A and B are shown apart, each in its own frame.
Chain A
Amino acid sequence: MHAIEKILAKASGKSEVRSGEIVEARVDVAEVNDLYLQVIKSFYEMGGERVANPDKVTFVFDHYSPSPTIKAADNQRQMREFCEKMGISRLFDVGEGVCHQVLAESGLVGPGKIVIETDSHSTTLGALGAFASGVGATDLAIILLTGQLWFKVPPVIRIEVDGAIPYGVMAKDVILYILGKLKQDAAIYKAVEYSGSAISSMSMDERFVLCNMSVEMGAKTAYIQPDDITFNFLEEKGAKRDDFEVFVTDGDFCYQESYAFDVSGLSPQVALPGSVDDVANIEDAQPVPVTQVFIGTCTGGRLNDIKTAANILRGRHVAKGVRCLIVPASRTIFRDALAEGYVKDLVEAGAVFVTPGCGPCLGAHEGVLTAGDVCVSTSSRNFPGRMGSTEASIFVASPATAAASALAGHLADPRNFIG
């Protein structure tokens, strides 16, 4: 069996499960974000009176945080009241950050856990060896009611990434390259496992990016086998090794598909507006003038991303006509970026800091685009209308490419601005 299958088997009280089988599994950590008042509505509509396991439930206010409208503020108020009433103590309120990052830092998530969130990018947490997946509001309400949910055991695709990642190239470039090759529907209803020498040498910050964007190829979940980098990360967050169970894939396990990539010669990548799998080498992309650069989100707002941007912009200035927004993925990251001096460097270079959260990525607030805007974004999606107007263009790129573009005033190759 694969490690993912073993996690699902354990959580559903079985000794063995197979791909395609439907299991009823207990959920270790459930998370509701502030887009989903529907969770509470569905809970009551199904006759809910009390939450099965309040200690396993978290609420994170990140998409509309701080609230931009009265309606959003009222949704959050109702959620606070629900937590109070149901005895849910883990409410991460305005300013704590993006749900996936907040959970990663909470020490609650690690190897062997089943983590279900009302957000498609929940695949992020597979980087910690968890089975992590996104669901809609009503599925999450069922978890509140019963503590469990049904899952189809997914077939697993192996993506092996080898080679030393070149200077100026980041995990974001690696995953964009893979998406460009495999396309948006490559892993619908499947799990994706990353392995290989390039993965083993990646920091947790970078591993999260790969797992995060796996949902852009349709993946139900993503997975990286826990190693010392994983355990060191968890230890730093105050988690104990005994809190988790590490499952290992059997040697005779048959992957449904396997792909191998060598990234030692990879250029920075950019996804062209409209589709995240329409990917080009930066040197082949036109130097399109940009009006906004956005460094943030659950994909691109970690400390390594802010540090990379600071290294490029330090002592220089954002080009005239460009708004350069930086949104740390969590309060902890914001605090660390302050301590390291990156915030000062970036603000002096003309960048604007926004509260930890994820509002601009989905066009909710704090950086909405109008017709004719061109944004280079470290986010995961460039669907038409994603960040506001359907007549705006979004290029998805690494934090290095985004920072270089802010400096140049047009889509730019970061290798020209570092080293």
Chain B
Amino acid sequence: MKEVELIQGRVFVFGDNIDTDQIYPGRYLELTEPEEVALHAMEGADPDFPSKVRPGDIIVAGKNFGCGSSREHAVITLIASGVRAVVAKSFARIFYRNAINRGLPVVEIPDLEPNSISQGSIATLDFKNGIFSSSEGKTYNFVPFPDNIMAIIEAGGIMPFYKAKATSRTPKKP
């Protein structure tokens, strides 16, 4: 189990309607291994992103992040490239579900102004208290995840979560 009460990382800032083709271009959809998928994160929005991103980084964006395709690659590429969380004004529905299923924290802050957060600054996500703050002093509140969603995120996604549940239900052999 991973402890995800607090996340701190460098910030990459994007605008509104960052779609799944920008997060993970369609031409790579035949790839299936996370390490190959990771090489193309956010390439459609910022071609240099895959070479700049480092483990622990946080994406900050405007409204409707992840709109477009249902491709789970869009979430897999972010996780595998090291992105630790995405904070946005709003998220597209399928992307949001995919992210929770994969254990990527997606934090919705309706009054977020992405431009108030500087590219490269250090931001902190406090999941317990629902506070997002950046090193330049900007602070936003958000509604913390309910316990059941937090449990999925802490398990690292629905697959390990599901497996753990299945194992705990299996009666032990005498």
Contact = CB atoms under 8 A, between A and B. Distances in A.
B97 A136 contact: yes
B32 interface: yes
Given A184-B17, A185-B64, A364 B29 contact: yes
Nearest to B25: A385
A386 interface: yes
Interface in B51-83: 63-64, 67-73, 75-76
Contact of B93 (A35, A47, A218, A275): A218
B3 to A, nearest CB: 23
Given A383-B19, A383-B22, A368 B27 contact: yes
B127 to A, nearest CB: 21
Nearest to A44: B159
Interface in A386-404: 386, 388, 390
B101 interface: yes
B138 interface: no
A188 B163 CA distance: 31
Interface residues of B, number: 39
Contacts of A38: 32, 72-73, 76
A119 B91 CA distance: 17
Interface in A315-369: 362-364, 368
A174 to B, nearest CB: 21
Interface in B7-53: 17, 19, 21-22, 25-27, 29-32, 44-45
B4 interface: no
Contacts of B93: 188-189, 218, 220
A138 B90 contact: no
B166 A47 contact: yes
Contact of B92 (A36, A63, A188): A188
A217 to B, nearest CB: 9
A138 B72 contact: yes
B32 A37 contact: yes
A37 B73 CA distance: 11
Contact of B68 (A139, A188, A383, A388): A383
B96 to A, nearest CB: 8
A202 interface: no
Interface stretch (A5-13, A68-76, A82-90, A106-114): A68-76
Contacts of B72: 36, 38, 136-138
Contact of B159 (A46, A64, A69, A383): A46
Nearest to A75: B30
Given A184-B17, A188-B90, A364-B27, A136 B75 contact: yes
A134 interface: yes
A91 interface: no
Interface string B126-137: 000000000000
A216 B64 CA distance: 11
A246 B116 CA distance: 50
A37 B32 CA distance: 7
B102 interface: yes
A363 B45 CA distance: 16
Nearest to A219: B93
Contacts of B63: 185
A230 interface: no
B27 A388 contact: yes
A63 B70 CA distance: 13
B140 interface: no
A42 to B, nearest CB: 6
Interface centre among B63, B101, B157 (most CB of A within 10 A): B101
B30 A362 contact: no
Contact of A138 (B21, B27, B102, B166): B102
A189 B27 CA distance: 28
Contact of B44 (A64, A75, A142, A384): A384
A64 B101 contact: no
Given A64-B30, A69-B30, A383-B19, A138 B159 contact: yes
A139 B101 contact: yes
A45 interface: yes
B22 A120 contact: no
B17 A46 contact: no
B68 A381 contact: yes
A42 B159 contact: yes
Contacts of A46: 158-159, 162-163, 166
A35 B29 contact: yes
Contacts of B45: 384
A41 interface: yes
B26 A120 contact: no
13 contacts: A46-B162, A47-B162, A75-B30, A136-B72, A139-B98, A184-B64, A185-B64, A218-B67, A362-B26, A368-B27, A384-B21, A384-B22, A385-B21
Given A185-B63, A385-B21, 16 more contacts: A35-B29, A35-B30, A46-B159, A47-B166, A72-B30, A134-B94, A136-B98, A136-B101, A137-B98, A185-B67, A185-B90, A362-B21, A364-B26, A383-B44, A384-B44, A385-B26
Give me the 3 closest cross-chain CB pairs, A-B, nearest first: A362-B26, A136-B98, A136-B72
Interface of B: 17, 19, 21-22, 25-27, 29-32, 44-45, 63-64, 67-73, 75-76, 90-94, 97-98, 101-102, 157-159, 162-163, 166
